[in-house]
Amino acid sequence: MSGQRSSDPVVLVSQVSHGVRWQLNASIGEDGLLCMSVDGPKGPDTDTPWSSGGCGFDSSPSGGHYMAGPGPGAGDADIMYGPLPEAATDVRVTSGKVVGSHSFPAGSGLPAGRYWYSFDPSEDTDPDTGRTADPQPLDAAGDEVAFTDF
């Protein structure tokens, strides 16, 4: 993932978790790729120890199709998030938990598609890979859907 933002960020989610206000943002980078970040209420590029983000999500099995970082205000949780194709109504993470997805806001300048986010315990890793999340997009019938480049 690479690139710099060129469009103003769209706030997708704004919540308080563990006493800390945070938000999930999306924008389009100078290179035309989707950017997503988790940061404080002042927006992207704030200096918080739990900020995370990147631009350019790819569909390769080796990664790049989601972001993960420390959960806001919680030393024992991680937040995972990323874009999904329109057909993906849910995503299954490492723990087997199924998380719902949400459409990118219409008229926002963001690509057609959906996004997801999930808080999970930091120790909730796949024993084979050691990864915190191994998300799998699912359609409304629970069938697997391939990732899409964003």
pLDDT for 30-83, tens place per residue? Answer: 889 999 998 877 665 556 666 788 888 887 766 678 887 777 765 667 788 999
* Inside any domain, residue 123: yes
**Nearest CA among 74, 75, 77 for reference residue 20:** 74
CB 55 within 8 A of CB 148: no
Residue 146 lies in a domain: no
pLDDT, residue 2, reads 44
pLDDT at 58: 82
pLDDT in tens, 75-129: 667 788 999 999 999 999 877 889 999 999 999 999 999 999 987 766 555 556 5
In a domain, 96, yes or no: yes
Total domains in the fold of the chain: 1
Q: Which pLDDT does position 143 carry in this prediction?
A: 96
Question: What are the tokens at 16?
Answer: 């308080």
Domain-located, residue 150: no
pTM: 0.83
Cβ(92)–Cβ(100) below 8 Å: no
Q: In what order do the strands lie in the sheet with 77-84?
A: 67-70, 77-84, 114-121, 102-103
Q: Are 138 and 101 in contact (CB under 8 A)?
A: no
Q: Which domain holds residue 119?
A: 10-138
Q: Is residue 5 part of a domain?
A: no
Q: Is residue 3 in some structural domain?
A: no
Answer whether residue 63 is part of any domain: yes
Residue 2 lies in a domain: no
Q: How far apart are CA 83 and CA 127, in angstroms?
A: 25
